[in-house]
Chain A
Amino acid sequence: MQVKEKIIEKFFLMIALSSITILALITFFIFEEGIPLILKIGPKAFLLGEKWIPSKGLFGIFPMIVSSFWVTFGALLLGIPLGLACTIFLSELIPPSIGILLRPAIQLLAAIPSVIYGFWGLIVLVPLIQNYLGGPGLSILTGSLVLSFMILPTIITISEDSLKALPPSYKAGALALGATHWQTIWRVLIPAAKSGIVASIILGMGRAIGETMAMIMILGNAVKMPNSFLDSARTLTTNIGIEMGYASGDHRQALFATGIVLFFIIMALNTLAIFLSRRRVD
């Protein structure tokens, strides 16, 4: 019996380690392919260069870093109020009969493939923005709009969980002291669940920065510094997605190097989210 258990234990350990090994291998290959190029052209020229013309050996990704943050910032600007309002409604104000419908619907939002979001944005939002606001329609604004919908499930589910995890005595206490329902929500519950809500926003931000397919379809992918929300832009992920098919040599390495930058950004965001949600537990 002892032996059998040992074997099973090792077997599961092995499987668990395989998945970590895959992660390690991916990381290793991204760095192995990307680092030589960064060293060749210099980290400064790569990170702060403003021109991306691979056929001429110019690999500056600064406009893409800026665009990534523009698009993400726009998505958060629209997504956070919407997500928070939805969370409060779901956890505090909702009649149970609607909750049964609404919760699965929000989770379904996370299950829709991103290419569908992209297609919807391209067919519905792009012409609207092109006609009413001008510009090519394929723009940061369109991208942010679509992304704000895509990050809603992340923000809502995690921040609702953190609201639900609060001890019931908080709410009971506040109400007993004479606070109205709304005062309880705004002054007691939300501040108490703050770290979880912030973590949910950071995870949503990670999702927004990492989104590729929908953004390729919507952003227009022009390689220049964006000047307004109506300009076309290219993010770090779409740069890899759009050019990988044809790239070779230095160009290919530059795309892996773009991946390294993305890797660090996502790592930083996730570490921050883990750190914040830890603090809540302690």
Chain B
Amino acid sequence: MKNQKTKGTLNKEIPLPSISSRQGRRAALCCFGHWKLKFGDCLGSGTWDSGFLLTCLISILLVLSGTLGCQRSRAGSTVAGSTSVEPFAELLAEEYMSRHPESHIYVQGGGSTAGIEAVMSHAANIGLCSRPLMGKEKNLYAVTIAKDAIAIILHPQNPIQDLSLEQIREVFSGKIRNWKELGGPHHPIVLVTREEGSGTREAFQKFVMEKEDISLEALVQDSNGAVRQVVASNHNTIGYISLGLVNDQVKALKISGVEPNMTNIDNGRYILVRPFLFVFNEEPVGEAKSFLEFVLSPLSQKLLLKEGLVPVSPKIAQE
């Protein structure tokens, strides 16, 4: 009791460490040297302290057990992966949880590959993927939950409305460098692309660029939102994002006269369309299964349609 009291008063008297505290800085700078000195003492003095060795071992074990011990213990399912799918998964998870108050679905981003790796290492129950599976990933159990179109976006004040796939390819490969060559104002074109490995970029590469490379001059942003932000704030930019995320800050380009909308996606005239996948280690059971069923239900599919995605069941798309 007495002990506690003294502790309390002591605590109050100890000044909070501040950045400017010189001792702190010094200590930080010199701690490495000190440690070496201590270690040298142990070695040099000849009395090799077995206790020291033991503490070394124990502390290593402590750290290791710390890293191993953090296996998932909380209840509920974790969904992780593509940042393109994440906002839709979040919406569906909220809807699902409001219907099943006892469940918890945790949705995280990270990217398609990270999501698949998380599923393989059992860190997540469901992986979100916005590209077709590759290599050994094909062994996983994947379900297409919707399809997404990729829109080529410009600043709303850019007079250009319509480009052919060929022209877009030449713009992104750096062959056409000025809007004038496309009938626009005399300004250099600023390309905005996604980072290597992004599902959106892979789909764009496959559909639009084919064998050509995206110019290394292009600005690289790491999410759909960041690309949209950059395009919205600069008149000379061109970028590409999920059609579902196009808003009035940017303008979606027609491709050879075909406007990116539900009808054109559905009848196959708009070709920049990719699958959104849920990925599992094996056929899902329990909560993961009921969430998947919920996502594939007409109600959720209608929700996804409203958000700008293309539903998997053709009936809903036609309604």
Contacts and interface: CB of A to CB of B under 8 A. Distances in A.
Interface in A69-113: 103, 107, 110
Interface residues of A, number: 56
A20 B35 contact: yes
The DSSP consensus for interface residues of chain A is helix
Given A51-B216, A245-B109, A274 B22 contact: no
Nearest to B223: A245
Interface string B208-246: 000001001111111000100110011001000000000
B75 interface: no
A110 B19 contact: yes
Please indicate which of the listed interface residues B26, B52, B195 has the most CB atoms of chain A within 10 Å of its own CB. B195
Nearest to A11: B55
B62 to A, nearest CB: 6
A221 B58 contact: no
A242 B222 contact: yes
Contacts of A199: 29
B36 to A, nearest CB: 11
A15 interface: yes
B19 A138 contact: no
B234 A107 contact: no
Given A107-B20, A136-B190, A274 B222 contact: no
A272 B216 CA distance: 35
User: Which of B83, B110, B114 neighbours the largest number of chain A CB atoms within 10 Å of its CB?
Assistant: B114
A174 B52 CA distance: 52
Contacts of A14: 55, 58-59, 62
B230 A138 contact: yes
Contacts of A241: 222
B113 A246 contact: yes
Interface in A131-158: 136-138, 153, 157-158
Contact of B216 (A110, A223, A247): A223
Contacts of B35: 20
A107 B18 contact: yes
Contacts of A103: 20
A25 B60 CA distance: 9
A10 B220 contact: no
B19 A153 contact: yes
B220 A248 contact: no
13 contacts: A10-B51, A14-B62, A161-B20, A224-B217, A232-B217, A243-B197, A245-B83, A245-B197, A246-B195, A246-B196, A251-B196, A274-B32, A274-B33
Interface of B: 18-20, 22, 25-26, 29-30, 32-33, 35, 51-52, 55-56, 58-60, 62-63, 83, 109-114, 117, 190, 195-199, 205, 213, 216-222, 226, 229-230, 233-234, 237
Interface of A: 10, 13-15, 17-18, 20-22, 25, 51-56, 103, 107, 110, 122, 126-127, 130, 136-138, 153, 157-158, 160-161, 164-165, 199, 216-217, 220-224, 232, 234, 241-248, 251, 273-274, 277-278
